[in-house]
Amino acid sequence: MICSQGFTIIYKECLKVKRIFKSNTSPTASKLDGLAIVDIKKMKTNFQVSCFLLCNSGADLPADAKPILDRVFHTTLSPCTPLEIALGSTVVTYAVTALLNMGRLKDTVNSLTFLACSFHSMLQARKAADLLPFFYSKGMNNPVCNAQLAFDTECFKIGEACGLQLVDLLTDCNSEHGTSYANLREYSLAPEPHNVQKAAPQDIKYCYYEEELLLMVFIHSLAKILSIDSPVITGTIHFYQAALQTDAFTSDQNLGSLQVGHKDLVRFGAKFPA
């Protein structure tokens, strides 16, 4: 199995085989060109292989299998355990990169409303769009909007737990600008006011990153006080911290470190049942 996303661990009880070999990555650096052509740029000089039933870290591959694997791959194979394969760097490389670049993806066919489509065509015609991407039009495609809504839903639950009636993100955006867009993608593609001169941040130290991280830590700590799960918020914080190489949980934005409790929240507007 090549890059099989935990196949051994998930399906080992269902399989009636003597051995399961898995690699942590593709043996080649390659890309699919069209539907039938694979462009192989180079063979990798080393990659990891596990053999299920031999799960001790550092255990060598079976003697009778080594000649076959050497003949197929012509490279150095490093033996490891199935768990090490499942936790390998491939998922980090692709998943994190994809997450942080979702805003650069093209909108899928039929995912835009007619109005959003017309806005999109208008913005594509602007020369500035070819130089630095507009933060809203290029950075907030439908997948990113979906992630924003998931984040917003968690904030909404936190607000409800405090007895607050929050306004959802789209309603708030429309209210701020006196608009009536049907969804966040329409809003983000509108030629004005956001897609005029403001380009996307070009530096990880930009305020959108550092300042928003501190705000997220605050919201996360509030959720913890209220015993509310916030996986989207928590995950976003961890990715930001990794990118910025910082530990924001030690900042003053963490209400837990300040020993803030329910009584303190009431002082700032929370309305808990008596």
User: Mean pLDDT in each 10-residue stretch from start to end of the chain (274 residues)?
Assistant: 65 74 76 71 75 69 84 81 69 62 76 91 70 75 90 91 86 86 92 74 70 86 93 91 86 78 80 78
pTM value is: 0.71
Q: Which two tokens stand for residue 213?
A: 């991280």
Q: For residue 104, what pLDDT is reported?
A: 74
- Unique residue bearing structure tokens 């639950």: 157
Q: How far is CA 158 from the centre of its chain?
A: 22
Percent helix / strand / coil, the chain, rounded to 5: 45, 10, 40
Q: For residue 31, what pLDDT is reported?
A: 67
- Summarize pLDDT for 161-173 with one digit per residue, the tens: 988 888 888 988 8
Question: What's the rounded Cα separation, in Å, for the pair 200 and 270?
Answer: 36
Bridge-based pairing state of the strands 21-23 and 46-51 = antiparallel
Q: For residue 182, what pLDDT is reported?
A: 95
How many other C-beta atoms can be found within 10 angstroms of the C-beta atom of residue 77?
19
Closest CA to 139 of 221, 200, 205: 200
Closest CA to 142 of 188, 180, 100: 188
Question: What's the rounded Cα separation, in Å, for the pair 188 and 147?
Answer: 14
Packing angle, helices 142-161 and 231-244, rounded to 10? 120
Q: For residue 140, what pLDDT is reported?
A: 84
Question: What's the rounded Cα separation, in Å, for the pair 195 and 249?
Answer: 34
Q: For residue 172, what pLDDT is reported?
A: 86
Question: What's the rounded Cα separation, in Å, for the pair 154 and 169?
Answer: 12
Q: For residue 199, what pLDDT is reported?
A: 61
Q: For residue 70, what pLDDT is reported?
A: 83
- Unique residue bearing structure tokens 């993806």: 105
Question: What's the rounded Cα separation, in Å, for the pair 15 and 37?
Answer: 32
